[in-house]
Amino acid sequence: MSARIETLITELVRAAPTRDASVIAALRDELHAVATPLALAIARAVELVDEDLVDPGIALPALAEACATLVAGLAGRLDAAVLATAQFQIETLTPVPDRPPSLTVAPDVPVSSLTALSRGRRPRT
């Protein structure tokens, strides 16, 4: 299974910028079968590349590196810290929603009007 992951990601990188839907589907299936946090992060990033939500020129080299790290981790050649670092790197490719616009709140009513209303008088206009 793990050798297939490296074969599929290599095929995806070599074919770029063209993307073969069957290669993407096969890679995604292999990664979901592994189901480690790193594998699932890679699978999500592959989906985002396929949906044109992440630039393949930026993502594919990182994904290839992460797949190699995943395979080495599955073989027991890497420790959990290395796998977590690779997962973090891949998760940084995930787009984040735009920040909401900052609001500057200014009172619509002058403070002097509030003071006058609290004393039972009509505000000056």
* Residue 81 belongs to some domain of the structure: yes
Q: Is 108 inside any structural domain?
A: no
Instruction: Give the model's pLDDT for residue 72.
Output: 96
pLDDT at 112 over 90: no
What is the tens place of the pLDDT at every residue in 29-54? 999 999 999 999 999 999 999 999 99
Which residues lie below 8 Å from residue 58, measured CB to CB, with a gap of 6+? Answer: 93
Residue labelled with tokens 């000056």: 124
Residue 115 belongs to some domain of the structure:
no
Is this prediction's pTM over 0.85? no
Residue 99 is assigned to a structural domain of this protein: no
43 domain-assigned: yes
**6-20, 49-63, 92-106: segment of lowest average pLDDT:** 92-106
Contact 66, 42 (CB under 8 A): yes
Angle between helix axes 2-15 and 56-74 (nearest 10 degrees) is 160
Give 69's contacts (C-beta < 8 A, 6+ positions apart).
Answer: 38, 78, 82, 83, 86
Sequence-ordered alpha helix ranges (H) in the chain:
2-15, 21-34, 37-50, 56-74, 80-91, 111-118
What is the residue range of 52's domain?
2-91
Q: How many domains does the chain have?
A: 1
- Note whether residue 39 is domain-resident: yes
Q: How many CB atoms lie within 10 A of CB 8?
A: 23
Residue 106 inside a domain? The answer is: no
